[in-house]
Structures are given as structure tokens and as C-alpha cells.
Amino acid sequence: MASTNSPQKDWYSILGASPSTDIQELKQKYQKLILMFHPDKQRPSVSEGEAEKHLQRFIDVDQAWKILSNKESRNEYNLHLRACELKQIWPVDAHITLKDMNWDSDAECYTYSCRCGGEFILDKVDTQEVETVVCCDSCSLSVEVQKVT
Ligand SMILES: [Zn+2]
């Protein structure tokens, strides 16, 4: 598994689903997998190592379903996925905090100069996120902005 080091697991791929999978289909996939990996449903011929792997899958499948079956936590997770996608599309040039940015009171937004001469512009409304990725207005770089509390 390539994602073992990542703190957030890929809950969709654990269920063999994608962000567009609807809740009914998700439930079917979950029920099938949870039966397949249920500790009580293992054949006696299964080795100890195998059984342990199955138990881990069982826990993951259960956790994935808990997150994705709840509308709120699913939305939250989708946002997280989107932020990861953005990071892959636009290389993050720097990690900064809101304090590093300049507050433009006329435009009601935060700005930060890019090394290309362009600017990162963060709208006031976007600062409600704990962490957000802002793209430069003239090149492909981006910065990750942490909100300090
Ligand atoms: Zn730039």
C-alpha cells in the first residue's frame, strides 16, 4: 500500500468507491466488505497473518463507512480531498500564516507577494478554513495559508 504513511486514509478506495458514488451504492459496498472481513466470518484455514490483515481491513471499512455515511463528515472529507488535489496540481511554494499576509482594507482581502511579481489573494470569507491553498494570480505557484488562532 502506497498510502500507509499518510495520516488520512483514502476512505473511498477502502470501500472501492469514489466521491461520486451515491449513498445506496456505498452502503452495498460496505455491507459486502464488512461481511468479507468480519472476524467471525473467517474460515479456520486462514493463517494468523492473513487474519490480522483482514481484521485491519474490517476496522478500515468500518471507519470509512462511519465517515462517508454521515453527510457532514463526508463533506468535510471531500473538502480535504479537494485541498490535496489542489496541492498536486499547483506546487506549494511556501507555508505561511495569515499574519504573514497584508490586509487590504479597501478590497477586504489578504494579499501576499509571489516571487514572480504576482500576488496571492485570499478573500476574507476563505479565511474560515483552518488551512487553505491560494494560487498566484499570474503564475502556477501556490501558498498554503494556516489560520492562526
Ligand atoms: Zn506567481
What domain range is 64 assigned to? 11-81
| Domain boundary pick from 55, 81, 107 | 81
**77 is a domain residue:** yes
Near ion ligand 1, which residues have CB within 5 Å?
114, 116, 118, 136, 139, 141
Distance of CA 136 from the midpoint of ligand 1 (Å): 5
For residues 38 and 94, membership in a common domain is answered with no
Distance of CA 86 from the midpoint of ligand 1 (Å): 16
**69 is a domain residue:** yes
pTM above 0.85, yes or no: no
Length of the chain: 149
For residues 68 and 111, membership in a common domain is answered with no
Only one residue has cell 471499512, namely: 61
Could you give the 3-state DSSP secondary structure of residue 103? Answer: strand
- pLDDT tens-digit map of 78-137: 988 887 777 676 678 888 998 999 999 998 899 999 999 999 999 876 656 678 888 888
- pLDDT tens-digit map of 3-41: 333 456 889 999 999 999 999 999 999 999 999 999 888
Contact 64, 9 (CB under 8 A): yes
Q: Who's near 70: CB < 8 A, 6+ residues apart?
A: none
